[in-house]
A = this chain, B = another copy of it.
């Protein structure tokens, strides 16, 4: 990304051919992608070196550039995959509760953010995006705002529909937005700022359940207080 006289486009068969013919196993590319996913989620884009990734993947230093062009395109692919995972996941959750009341949907929404079972594979993959997002918070890059656009905004829109119902459709757009922010803040902060709360915030599953119930009760009362 820094050096380079000009080139950047040698690599594999144009990425899209996807055939990966010769006996060389497909494994390397996948191993690199996996290691990169784990490391980027752990430390963020800048604090991971190409050498770290390749070592973790038992691959040569050149493999990142060979298979992905450069470090940034590798990162984009990691982010894209994480977004894809979460997308299906979230659509499903939103559709599953179509028949539920607004209160029940709120319960579901809050719990989905605050209490995740770390043993579930889906949650573990979801946490990759969450970690990537957290790192992006302090270093705004084009990719960071892409995550916001793709993952956060749809959630905010969904939450707004819930809040509108809770407000009985009688409140202004501004009030809806304010309530959405209040609720989302409670869902996001323990995630966005673990440093700030790892001493005060709950850790065990049961405590997270309690916190989720609290956030729902607190927020329902808050929203009702703003109902005209």
Contacts and interface: CB of A to CB of B under 8 A. Distances in A.
A215 B182 contact: yes
A8 interface: no
A12 B225 CA distance: 61
Interface residues of A, number: 52
A197 interface: yes
Nearest to A137: B193
A82 to B, nearest CB: 16
B190 A189 contact: no
A3 interface: no
A13 interface: no
Interface in A39-91: 44, 46-47
A150 B185 CA distance: 23
Contacts of A226: 214, 217-218, 221
A28 interface: no
Contacts of A101: none
Given A148-B196, A192-B192, A214 B139 contact: no
A105 interface: no
B145 A195 contact: yes
B214 A220 contact: no
B139 A137 contact: no
Contact of A214 (B182, B196, B199, B215): B182
A185 B47 CA distance: 27
Contacts of A211: 178, 181
A161 interface: no
A1 to B, nearest CB: 14
19 contacts: A44-B139, A46-B47, A134-B137, A135-B138, A137-B193, A156-B200, A177-B200, A178-B214, A179-B218, A181-B189, A181-B201, A182-B218, A185-B186, A185-B190, A186-B186, A188-B189, A192-B196, A218-B222, A221-B224
